[in-house]
Amino acid sequence: MARAISTKRKAVFTVAAWIVALIIFFPILYTIITSFKSETEAIAGFNMIPSGTMESYGAVQDQYNYFKPFMNSVVLSVGSTILALLIAIPAAWSMAFSPTKRTKDILMWMLSTKMMPAVAVLFPMYLIFRNLGLLDSRIGLTVMLTMINLPIVVWMLYTYFREIPSEILEAARMDGASLWNEIIYVLTPMAVPGIASTMLLNIILAWNEAFWTIRLTATDAAPLTAFISSFSSPQGLFWAKLSAASTLAIAPILIMGWFSQKQLVRGLTFGAVK
């Protein structure tokens, strides 16, 4: 009897999970469907069955070179993630294993920087980038994306590190491990699921960042977000082409997310159940 109730509940939760997942995924699905419509079909109204035309993909390929912004997106997202991890791992170690009475305040302060609207600092940032000669450079944008995502990276790593018993690190110290050896050979391998999920999440966030990547680039460092925005037109139909460009832009990150979903979920739920 108990088994029957459990199965029923499980079925309800499964259906509910599928419904929620479909609702969340629907905008992406509809973007993909629209990319296989003609411009007239795309603006004609809601329709889940496209004619299957590839003309929008052809137009997108004719108009712009996809490879350059794609490579920029790869360099910026991977580069900013590596840089963020290099800074965040020692910072999170310090806060998790050697906290002071101000640690919580520092963590809150770091998080509070995410609450400020980006446009509020557009002019100062633009001037700094101009004066440092970093406008439209991959280096400048990598640093920018690192700074944007650093609070989340530190917070996530801090949460994972706190789940690791400090006795293990103390044992390593007793065995004569230096600070760096302790972090690299003891802490990091134990926190691999957490670090991996943080890394994946940071790559996704950096890949999708559109405010700064559009505003601080022109031709050399412009990533796929700029590629997408170039298909919006004030006079002329563009929904199908925009959808095709968006599909091309999100495809790599969707594929990466699909293959790494186990790692991502394991990392995100790490320490959630004791």
How many Å apart are CA 128 and CA 117, to the nearest integer? 18
Interaction of residue 120 with other proteins, rule CB under 8 A: no
Q: Environment class of residue 271 by beta-carbon count within 10 Å: exposed (0-12), middle (13-18) or buried (19+)? A: middle
Interaction of residue 121 with other proteins, rule CB under 8 A: no
Site size toward other proteins (CB under 8 A) is 29
Interaction of residue 46 with other proteins, rule CB under 8 A: no
Interaction of residue 53 with other proteins, rule CB under 8 A: no
Interaction of residue 117 with other proteins, rule CB under 8 A: no
Q: CB of 43: closest distance to other proteins in angstroms?
A: 4
Question: Closest CB to other proteins among 41 and 163?
Answer: 41
Q: Give the other-Cβ count within 10 Å of 183's Cβ.
A: 19
Interaction of residue 137 with other proteins, rule CB under 8 A: no
Interaction of residue 251 with other proteins, rule CB under 8 A: no
Which backbone phi and psi does 109 adopt, to 5 degrees? -65, -40
Q: CB of 135: closest distance to other proteins in angstroms?
A: 6
Question: Closest CB to other proteins among 103 and 230?
Answer: 230
Among 63, 112, 166, 261, binds other proteins (CB under 8 A): 63
Question: Closest CB to other proteins among 207 and 231?
Answer: 231
Among 33, 61, 90, 136, binds other proteins (CB under 8 A): 136
Q: CA 203, 135, 137: angle at the middle one, nearest 5? A: 50
What distance separates the 2 farthest-apart alpha carbons in the chain? 73
- Lookup: tokens for 100: 């002071």
Q: CB of 76: closest distance to other proteins in angstroms?
A: 17
Give the HSE-up count for residue 243: Cα atoms under 13 Å, Cβ half-sphere: 25
Among 46, 123, 180, 258, binds other proteins (CB under 8 A): 123
Interaction of residue 166 with other proteins, rule CB under 8 A: no
Query: To 10 degrees, what angle do helices 239-259 and 261-268 make?
Result: 70
Residues 194 and 211: beta-carbon distance below 8 Å: no
Q: Could you say which DSSP state residue 116 is in? A: S
Q: CB of 169: closest distance to other proteins in angstroms?
A: 48
| Cβ-based neighbours of 53, under 8 Å, separated by 6 or more | 36, 37, 38
Please state the length of the chain: 274
Q: CA 137, 143, 144: angle at the middle one, nearest 5? A: 85
DSSP-derived 3-state class of residue 22: helix
Question: Closest CB to other proteins among 164 and 228?
Answer: 228
Question: Among 12-20, 98-106, 129-137, 260-268, which window interacts with other proteins (CB under 8 A)?
Answer: 129-137
Interaction of residue 130 with other proteins, rule CB under 8 A: yes
| Position 58, amino acid | G
Alpha-carbon 142 to chain mean position: 14
Q: CB of 224: closest distance to other proteins in angstroms?
A: 14
Q: Give the other-Cβ count within 10 Å of 100's Cβ.
A: 10
Binding mask 219-238 for other proteins (x = CB under 8 A): x--x---x--xxxxxxxxxx
Residues of this chain that bind other proteins (CB under 8 A) = 39-40, 43-44, 63-64, 122-123, 126-127, 130, 135-136, 214-215, 218-219, 222, 226, 229-238
